[in-house]
Amino acid sequence: MNRVPVIGFVEEIARFEEWMTDPAAETTVFSISGIGGIGKTTLLMEMARGAGRASAMTLWLDGSGETSTSGAFLTGLETTLESEYGRTRPADMPLLTFVVAELSRQRTVLLLDNGERIDRLEGWLLSSFLPKLASAQVLLAAASRNGLPLTWRTNPHWGPRVRSFPLQPFTRREVQAYLRHSGLAADVQEEIARKSEGHPLLLALTVEWMRSNGEAAPRGIPSIVTAELLREATSPSLHRVLTAMSLLPPSDPQTLNRMLDAPLDVADVHALGRLSFVLGTPQGWALHPLVARLLREDYAAAFPEAFRRLRRKAFALLEERFPEADKKSQMRIAGHVLELYREFLPSTNAYAVFTSNVDIGERRPFEPADLPELQRLLAASVEENNWQSELALAGQYAALLEEIAAHSPEGICVVRNAEGRPIAFSAGILLHARTMPLLERYTPEFPVLLGEEAESLRQLPPEAADTMLVALAAVDSSRSVYQPEEIGGVLMLEWFIMMTGGWRGRMVSADPQLNGLLSVFGFHDLGQVGGMTKWEIDFRHVRFDAWMKTVIRHTGADGGNGEERPAGGTGERMRLAEQDAKLILQRLYDEGDALDPYVGDGGRYRTKDELRGKVLALLTEERPTHPLSPLDQRILRESYLTKARNKNQLADDFHMSRTTFYRHSQSALRRLAQALNG
């Protein structure tokens, strides 16, 4: 029977073969790490086969038993040398001397599997064993869940010789390559590829499950892998901790305790540190994304009501954390909440599929080096009459993208694949005095689109800009690995994550499919212009959590379970942020519903009159409430209550430049929000 080809490990095998063929190769250490079932042992086996083909001596050790002491380690090597290569130690030769001599005779590959306990030997290995092989050609490949301890990488002599290989789930292309040998029907392969998380063990079990059950299409992912991963936990009591962690982004123990019925104890803390899928980050503990997803799905299927309650609890914690987080952290929280509530997003649309697992790379802002690839995506999109290019003049798309990259690069949202290559983008113009001429040149419809705001935007300094007009968008429709709609779904979510930083977004569309999707996603219809619908979403005045609840409510997918209620239920009061304070001041005496989110059940104040009274007291009292200052009071009164002068005149009145006045205004709004929260 032919052996099924091994998929993946391209980089790891390349580095291995590079060492094998280097005539001047020196003794080197490979640190192979990854969660259970990710393929660590399979990679070691591939290295063993490669070493055998090159006639290198190959020795295999099991770290679970042969790393307890230096004697056990050397005895294991001696046994393998004798049984595999007929090398027998002379009676009068010390064991260490014999092993070092044999390993130094020829190029040798030493494979250590299950190396979790190598820390017991690291002092001896680094100071006594490896130095004797420094001039030999020995490759030590050690596989463990968390990789070699930091001691190895910081060692002055051996640190430079350590190469780290953290194994990742299969990419979509690798999943497809694996499935080609499965014997399953093509449509079933495609469905598995679209839904798979790329975990090798999970993928293998899915294929075997499909073969044995003969299903036409997979109904779900077998929960056996979740149980397999949980068996790595040293105590069953950790299940409650891991489930709570699956609903949170990286969190410190104090935050995690707020999700638990009983706080973490010392044993829990130590046990978590030993799990391969618990990652340490600057923000705290985090579960490997695959494990978190599996745990959530498993818990939601087994205990749906309990899962919804726990998810609402997580949402309440994130809702509380969001206003006080920096912009980068806010984007991280927004992405996490979208993942938690992905089941409520529209399942499919002509422009976006939100149920697929697309393997995207690190979230990074636009870089000038991206521009040629974005132009290629745009040219293909224009040729196929696809995606959003309706606002700009025909034939001017490439020139407009060049201008946006030069004058409004912060308006470009890029989605990258795992290798960092752009696979989708949207390009928005951040509206201010320097970019308004771009609209005049490339989008002649802009005066109608912006209305009375156009004139004030022509005077707005760049540092005060907060409105983004989306002009272009494209996805890589040439990729056979992902459908354009799958990449489109990721682009839309990434754009929303970017906008949660406090932007207002505007766009136009004549496509009924896109218009329907924008409506579901909480955009406001601003009317028609030239046969196109004007759309706006305003994250300057709408909190992200409130927007998320709107999306859930519009989908009608909550089944009446109360997901749309203020997170945490009656009695928990929302915390106000800078954008909330600004909206309250702008709409303080409006008769509409703008102030509704801040009063009543879930709001900070009982009635609108109570809220108005509190704001007026804070801005007029003789001794300002901390942290407001008299200058804060004056700036906010003159800007939002008196409103007798424009921003330029106010800046002159306060003897400030326009930029300095804007900065003081933002700080005053932030301090007003803190005072309203008091």
Q: Provide the residue type at 36 as one letter.
A: G
Please state, rounded to an integer, the average pLDDT across all residues of the chain.
Answer: 82
Q: How far apart are CA 494 and CA 457, in angstroms?
A: 26
- Predicted local confidence at residue 389, as pLDDT: 63
User: Residue 81's pLDDT is what?
Assistant: 92
Question: Residue 376: what residue type?
Answer: R
Q: How confident is the model at residue 386 (pLDDT cuts 50, 70, 90)?
A: low
The DSSP secondary-structure symbol of 348 reads B
Predicted pLDDT at 14 = 94
How far apart are the C-alpha atoms of 404 and 388, rounded to whole Å? Answer: 15
String of DSSP letters for 551-590: HHHHHTTTTTSSTTSPTT-TT--PPP-HHHHHHHHHTTT-
pLDDT in tens, 306-326: 888 899 889 888 888 887 777
The tokens of 557 are what? Answer: 């997918």
Q: Which of 445, 440, 444, 471 is nearest to 458 (CA)?
A: 440
| Strand ranges inside 156-241, DSSP E | 162-166
What sign results for the dihedral spanned by CA atoms 288, 294, 300, 302?
Answer: negative
How far, in Å, CA of 357 to CA of 487, rounded? 10
| Domains of the chain, CATH where assigned | 10-166 (3.40.50.300), 184-344 (no CATH), 368-541 (3.40.630.30), 578-677 (no CATH)
Q: What are the Cα distances from residue 541, in Å, to 1, 143, 331, 544?
A: 65, 51, 17, 9
302 vs 461: which has the higher pLDDT: 461
What would the two tokens of residue 210 be? 């499909």
Query: How many C-beta atoms surround the C-beta of residue 239 within 10 A?
Result: 13
pLDDT of amino acid 62: 81
Decide if 274 contacts 234 (C-beta within 8 A). Answer: yes
Helices (H) and strands (E) in the chain, counts: 30, 13
pLDDT in tens, 9-19: 888 999 999 99
Helices 327-340 and 484-499 pack at an angle, to 10 degrees, of 140
276 — pLDDT class (breaks 50, 70, 90) = low
Single pTM value for the model: 0.61
Which range is least confidently modeled, 352-356, 572-576, 594-598, 674-678?
Answer: 572-576
The per-residue pLDDT for 142 is 94
pLDDT of 491 reads: 92
The verdict on whether omega for the bond into residue 222 sits within 30 degrees of 0, i.e. cis, is no
**132 phi and psi, to 5 degrees?**
-75, -15
Tokens of 230: 């949980």
Mean pLDDT confidence for 56-77 = 85
Asked if the model's pLDDT at residue 229 lies above 80, the reply is no
Dihedral angle over CA of 178, 180, 186, 188, nearest 10: -30
Which of 561-565, 662-666, 673-677 shows the lowest per-residue confidence on average (mean pLDDT)?
561-565
Per-residue model confidence as pLDDT tens digits over 123-147: 999 999 999 999 999 999 999 888 8
- For residues 465 and 208, the model is more confident at 465
Q: What is the pLDDT of residues 543-590, one digit of tens each?
A: 777 777 777 665 544 444 444 333 333 344 567 777 788 888 888 877
Residue 156, preceding peptide bond in cis (omega within 30° of 0): no
Residues 618 and 528: their CA atoms lie apart, in Å, by: 42
| Mean pLDDT confidence for 101-117 | 91
Residue 302: the pLDDT is 75
Question: Alpha-carbon distance 556 to 315, whole Å?
Answer: 19
Cα 16 to chain centroid distance, Å, stands at 30
Query: pLDDT band at 215, cuts 50/70/90?
Result: low
Q: What is the pLDDT of residue 228?
A: 54
Residues 388-435 have pLDDT tens digits of: 566 778 788 999 999 999 999 999 999 998 778 899 999 999 999 999
Q: Are 431 and 438 in contact (CB under 8 A)?
A: no
Q: What is the pLDDT of residue 480?
A: 65
> Which residues 6+ apart lie within 8 Å of 537 measured at CB?
499, 504, 505, 521, 522, 523, 524, 547
Indicate if the pLDDT at residue 120 is higher than 50. yes
Q: What is the pLDDT of residues 233-260, one digit of tens each?
A: 445 678 788 889 999 988 888 889 999 8
